[in-house]
Amino acid sequence: MNKAKASSEKSVSASSRTISLLSQLEKINSDSVLGESDSARHVTSRILHLVQSQEKTRKEMTSKGSTGIEIILSTLENTRDPQTILNILNILIEIVSVGGGRRASVLVTKGGTQILLQLLLTASKDSPPNEELMVLLHTLLAKVGPKDKKIGVKARINGVLNISLNLVKHNLQNHRLVLPCLQVLRVYSTNSVNAVSLGKNGVVELMFKIIGPFSKRNTSLMKVALDTLAALLKSKTNARRAVDRGYVQALITIYVDWHRHDSRHRYMLIRKGVLQCIKSVTNIKLGRKAFIDANGMKILYNTSQECLAVRTLDPLVNTSSLIMRKCFPKNRLPLPTIKSAFHFQLPVIPASGPVAQLYNLPPDVDDVVDESDDNDDAETESEIETEIDDDKDQHFKNDDIETDINKLKPRQELGRSIEELKMYEQFFPELSENFQEWDLVSKEPKPFVPDANLSGPIVVPTASEEHSAEAKPSTKGIALKECSPLLTEEYNRRPVFLELPKKDNMKSSSLHQQNDQRNMLPSCQCLSQEIVKGLDRISLQNSAKNDQYYGTGCVVEKESKAGITTLASSKPFEHVSPCGGSLFEGSSVQLGKLCCTGVDSEEEEDSRSSSSGEHATLQISDVSPVHDCDLYLEMVKNTKSIPEYSEVAYPDYFGHIPPPFKEPILERRYGVQRTKICQDIERLIYQNDIIDRVVYDLDNSSFSVPEEADVLKFNSKFESGNLRKVIQIRKNEYDLILNSDINSNHYHQWFYFEVSGMKTGIGYRFNIINCEKSNSQFNYGMQPLMYSVQEALRCRPCWTRVGTDICYYKNHFSRSSIAAGGQKGKSYYTITFTVTFQHKEDVCYFAYHYPYTYSTLKMHLRKLESMHNPQQIYFRHDVLCKTLAGNSCPLVTITAMPESNYYEHIYQFRNRPYIFLSARVHPGETNASWVMKGTLEYLMSNSPNAQSLRESYIFKIIPMLNPDGVINGNHRCSLSGEDLNRQWQNPNPDLHPTIYHAKGLLQYLAAIKRLPLVYCDYHGHSRKKNVFMYGCSIKETMWHTSVNAASCDLMEDPAYRALPKILSHTAPAFCMGSCSFVVEKSKESTARVVVWREIGVQRSYTMESTLCGCDQGKYKVLH
C-alpha cells in the first residue's frame, strides 16, 4: 500500500500537491477538531518542504487570485501548537526571502503584520520565552516591516515595542537572537514617536554598548546596531541624550579606530554606519557644537583626504563632506546690508509686499544677521555627486495648478474705459495712414541686404544666418589697414537713403541730420598699437547731473540723436600718435592711465599683425553691421543710471563677433564639487592661511584699488555691471559678492564685471558666494563668459566660454529671515570656477551670459532705422513711455509698405493681423534680447520669408520691457523692486509704467476688435536646456489635476499648439517635449496668462531660451 501511495504522489504535479495541502489545511482550520494539531503539524511541514525546494510553489502561494497566504495566516492565528507555528513562520520566511518586496507587500495586505505582532505579544508572556520562536518572529517582522508604513503605530498600539528591546538587554551575548531583534528595532525607530519611547527606555545607551569599543568580532551585529542607532538619533530627543552623554566624541573615536584598522577596506559598511550616526546627531545645534568641540572637522577632513585615492571609498568621502558642510559654522554675509548698494526712492510705496516691508524696516535693523542657530534641524543635502535638477517647472504641484474652470476660461476684460484707451491710438498710425504723399512706385526697392559671404552678429536660432558686415562711422586719419578686399565692395553695395516725400512721423527728424559721409564710412576702427597701449577704459564726463524723472504717461516722441560724447579720465595720455587723436574727432579726448598694455610683445607672433611695424587690425568682414562704436557712446550719454555710471565696458563699446569654433557643453570632472567643498572647509581648519582682504567694495565710497602687482583689480561701475564686493581669500582665490536688485534684498544671479592685473600660467579661482537658486546649469556643463581686450586687439573680439572646475553648491553663508522670506537657517549658494588667463596684464570681462545693454538696444534700433529702405519696409520707432529713471521704453512697428497708394493695397495694409512681441522683462535673461535682436534683423532683411511675413502681418514689438533693470545690473526686478512679469493683472502706472502701457496697447487692440494673432514674450531659462514655449490651455491644465469630470465636456481649439509645433520642425534648438500649456496659480499675473485670459489672445506664449545649451538635435551638447 505504501509503495502504491508513493507512486501515486509522484504522478501528481507539484502544483496539485500544493493546492491539495492547502485545502487540507483549510479544512483543518474550519473543523477545529481536538487532536487535529498533529494533522496541521504534518501538513505544514510538507508545505514547508515544498516551499524550501521549489520556487514555483512560492510563486503560486503569492500569485494573484491565490488564497494560499490567507490560509497560512489563518492557521497561524488560530493554532496553539508550537511546532505548527514554527513551520508556518518558516514557510513565510521562505516566501518573502526572495522575489523582492512584492511578496512581503502581499503579506502586509493580507493582514500579516497584525497577526505577527499579536503572536509576539503572546509569546512574550511565556517564561522563559521560546528562543526559536522569537528568532523566527523577529526575522519575519524585519523583512515585512519595511513594507508596512504603519508598523510603528501598530507595534505601539499592540504594546510590543519594549519586547524586542528587553530581549536585547537580557541576551546581549546571544547574537543569534539579538540580530533580528535589532533589525526590528530599526524598523520601529522609523516612527519618531517610537524612537522617543525607546530612547526613554535606554535604547541609545544599549546601542553604544554593542558598537564599542573597537572589535572585528560580530561585525554583522555591529552593522545592524549602527543602522538602528542612526535611525534612533534622527529623533531630536535621542540626539540630545547622545550629546549629553558624550557619545559624539565616542562616535568620532570609533570611526577613527575603524579607519586606522581597516587597511584593506573590508568593513566600509561599518565605517559608513558610524558616519550615518554622526550625520543624524549633528542634525541638531547641540550635536554640531559637540562635533566642532571634539575636533570633528579636522578629523573627518583628514580621514576623507586619505580615502580619496580609493574610488570605492567615495561613499565615505561624500558622507564626511555632508557632515562637515552641515557643521561648518554659518557665517553672515560680509556686507553692511543685504539691500542694494544703490538707492532709488520710489514715487509711491506699495501698501504691502516685500518692497513695503523693506521700506518699513527700522533704519538700525541688522538685515544680514546670522540666524542659523535658531534652526535646530539642518537642511538635508542630496549626495554630492548625484545632484538632481529640482526645476519646479518640470513637475507641477497639484496645489499650484488652477482648477477653477471659471477662472481658466478666457474672458475679455479691458479694465479701462474706451475713452482712456484712446490715448494709445497715436501708436497705431498704420491703421489710418493713406500714403498719398508717398511715391511708392518710383524706385526699385533697396532694403538693408545682409550679405551671405560676410559674417555678422551672433547667430541665434530665430535669427537669419545671413548677416553682413556693415561699415561704421570712422574718423579722419585713423590708422586702418584694409585687411579685406571686401571693404570697397561693401562700401559700394551699401544702400543709400531714398529721399522720398513722407510724413514727419514716419522718420525721426534727427536721423536726417546725420552726416551722409559718416553713414558711408566703415564701422571697424582698428587702433594703432600706440593708442591701444594707452587705453584703459572709456569714460563719460558728466557735465551736468540729470535730475530724476518720474514719467508715467505715454510719450510720443522719437529718440533724438545725442550730442558728441565727451571723454575724460584722470590725466591726459601724452604718447598718442597724431593719427590716433582723430579717433574721437569733435570730442575732448583724454585716455586713461596705462593698464591694458595692448598686444604683448612676447606673443607678437600669435597676433594677426605680420610685422612689428604694422598696426593691429580687425577684419572688416567680422564687424556686426549694426554695431557702431561712436554711436554707442552717444547712446550711453543719454542713458540714465542710478549710480550715474561714467565708464563704458570695452565689450559693449567695441562689440564682438561669434567665436570661430564650436563651444561644447563642459563635461564635469568627477569629484570637482567635493574638492571645492574640501577647500572651503580648509578655511576653518587652517585659518592662518586665509588672507581675508577686501579688494573691491561698492559700499565704501572711499575705497581705493590695491596697487600690489599680485592682486587682481575689479570693476563693475558700468552699464549692466553687477559686482558689489570682492574679498581675497588666498593668493589666487577671491570671493565675489553680487549686488541685489535695487529696492530689493535678493535676486542675486546676474554678474558682469571687469578683471585686470592678472598673470599668465596661474589658475585663479572665483567664488560668487551669494546666489539663491537651489540649482543651476553650472552643475550641468554651463560655463561663464569672458571677453579679453588683448584678444579683441588681435582681431578676435569674442565672448568665449571659459572656466574649469565649475560647480554650484550650497555654502556656509547664512541668509537672514528678512532675505529668505521669513524662513530661518537658509543658506546662500556658490558659483565657483577657475580661469587661467592667456595674456599678462590683460583686461578681461566676465558675465553670466552675453551682455546686452539698453544702450546697445538703442544703438541697434538707430542703425536698423538708418539702414532700411522706406519704399519697401514700414518701420517706426516710438517711445511708449518713460521709465521710473526717465529712460525711454522703445516701441517698434515693422511691416511691409503697401504696393501702391491705391485703395486695395492700402486696405490690405491696414487689415493685416498683428503679431505682438516683447522681451527682456527680466534683466538677467540677456539671451532674450539676443533672440529679439535676431528677430528684428530677420524681419528687416530681404529674405523672401521675411518679406512674406512683413506683407502678411504687422509686428508690434517692445524689445525691452525693463530698461531700468537692465541698465542698473538687476537680475529680476525693475527699480520698483518687483518682478514686472508678476504685475500684469494690476500694473501701477507710477511703479510699473512699461507694463501698464504695454497692457494698454493690447487693451486698445482688443477694444477696436484687432486682437493680435500671436503674443509672445521672450525669456531666458537658467535651469533647462533648449528653446521651448509655455502656453495656455484649459484642457491640459485640467489633465494635470484630479478634477477631470468637468473638462470632459470642454471644447477647445487646439490652435495654441500650432506655433510650437511649427518651431519644433523648423528650429533645431526648439524642444516640443519641454513645452507646457498648463496654467499655474503662481503664474496668473504673468504676461502670458493675462494676455490669454483678459485680452483674449489664444496664442499667448512665453518663449524660453536656455542660458546653457542644447541636449537634442543639431546643437546637442553645444552651448
CA dihedral 49, 51, 57, 61 (to 10 degrees): 120
CB 558 within 8 A of CB 878: yes
CB 561 within 8 A of CB 514: yes
Q: What are the residues whose beta carbons fall under 8 Å from the beta carbon of 100, sequence distance 6 or more? A: none
Distance CA 1101, CA 942 (A): 27
3-class secondary structure per residue, 959-980: CCCCHHHHHCCCCCCCCCCCCH
CB 1100 within 8 A of CB 1031: yes
Q: How far is CA 518 from CA 471, 512, 583, 589, in A?
A: 9, 12, 13, 19
Give the containing element (helix H, strand E) for 97: helix 82-97
Q: What are the residues whose beta carbons fall under 8 Å from the beta carbon of 245, sequence distance 6 or more? A: 204, 205
Distance CA 834, CA 802 (A): 9
Cell matching residue 189: 525607530
CB 512 within 8 A of CB 520: no
User: Which entry of 466, 754, 791, 1104 is annotated as an active-site residue?
Assistant: 1104
Give every strand in the sheet of 693-697, ordered side by side: 331-332, 804-814, 827-836, 763-771, 733-737, 725-730, 693-697
483, 461, 790, 479: which is closest to 623 by C-alpha? 483
Q: How far is CA 279 from CA 288, 377, 380, 684, 752, in A?
A: 9, 12, 10, 19, 39
Which amino acid belongs to residue 1041?
T
3-class secondary structure per residue, 861-889: HHHHHHHCCCCCEEEEEEEEEECCCCCEE
Q: How far is CA 958 from CA 920, 1000, 1002, in A?
A: 9, 13, 12
Instruction: Kindly give the interhelix angle for 203-211 and 192-200, rounded to the nearest 10 degrees.
Output: 80
| β-bridge partners, 957 | 892, 917
Distance CA 1096, CA 127 (A): 80
| β-bridge partners, 595 | none
**Exposed, middle or buried by CB within 10 Å (0-12, 13-18, 19+), for 19?**
middle
SS3 call for 584: helix
Cell matching residue 936: 528684428
Distance CA 229, CA 274 (A): 9
Cα distance from N-terminal residue to C-terminal residue, the chain:
85
CA dihedral 879, 920, 865, 868 (to 10 degrees): -140
3-class secondary structure per residue, 178-225: HHHHHHHHHHHCCCHHHHHHHHHCCHHHHHHHHHCCCCCCCHHHHHHH
894, 924, 920: which is closest to 909 by C-alpha? 894
Q: What are the residues whose beta carbons fall under 8 Å from the beta carbon of 580, sequence distance 6 or more? A: 478, 479, 527, 528, 530, 531
3-class secondary structure per residue, 894-941: EEECCCCCCHHHHHHHHCCCEEEEEECCCCCCHHHHHHHHHHHHHHCC
> Is there a cis peptide before residue 797, judged by omega within 30 degrees of 0?
no
The rounded Cα 736 to chain-centroid distance in angstroms is 19
**Exposed, middle or buried by CB within 10 Å (0-12, 13-18, 19+), for 1117?**
middle
60 is catalytic: no
Which positions are annotated as active-site residues?
A: 1104
